[in-house]
Amino acid sequence: MHIVNSYEELKRVIGYSFKYDKNKSKIVGLLFAQPDSFTEDEILKKVDYYNNRSRETIDFFCIGYQPQSFRPNLTVIAKVGDEKWTFCPDNFNELRIEIEKRTKWKYSGSVELVLFNAYLDDYEDDVKFDFSDSLSIDLIKAKNEQLIYSVGEIFEKIFNISETITSDNPTKEMSLKLIGNTGKKSFVNILFNLLPEAIRKDTKSIYLYGTSNYDK
């Protein structure tokens, strides 16, 4: 897991990862998850696995989380490899504010995973972030509305899809593959006048995994 405390630092880390990647585009995931009971049960208990699982497929950043050696006064809340990790509210909010200033995305206060595109501009030798086809997935809402069984389930889908991305708009491709044939099922439900709950669930799935334009 990489530690980033600013927007520019995020760009530097992504730029470094492009040096070892044959593709010129990739998905970046920012996880905004305060260390509450949901985060502990659904994410922190498996954070070491997620760290290793995502290594070659997608760049995930758990905002605000860092080794205890950075801030020894903070409480240990997770273990990544052999390192003890803590949560720093200051760093969490600093990057949240920067992302909100540069985009139209606003943090809801829930546990949110924001996925967006990053591109390597060879001409300028710089990394460009594109929020025009972003996904912002409210993980608590998704589970409460029974659209997912667990965070592990959706993370595994994201990791699996990331391994098969072929387009130069990876988050759009991710969105379509997460939705799958949900849109088709919704249309069939309406045609055959099935239960309203079925229609609502399909519609929620499309809303959950559909992209949004957060570019300013």
pLDDT band at 53 (very low <50, low <70, confident <90, very high): confident
Cβ-contact 61, 29 below 8 angstroms: yes
Residue-level pLDDT at 189:
38
Q: Where are the domains of the chain?
A: 7-209
Measured between alpha carbons, how far is 57 from 55 in angstroms, rounded to an integer? 6
| Predicted pLDDT at 114 | 95
pLDDT, one tens digit per residue, over 17-32 is 887 777 788 899 999 9
C-alpha span between 162 and 27 (Å, rounded) = 8
Q: Which is nearest to 151 in space by CA: 27, 40, 43?
A: 43
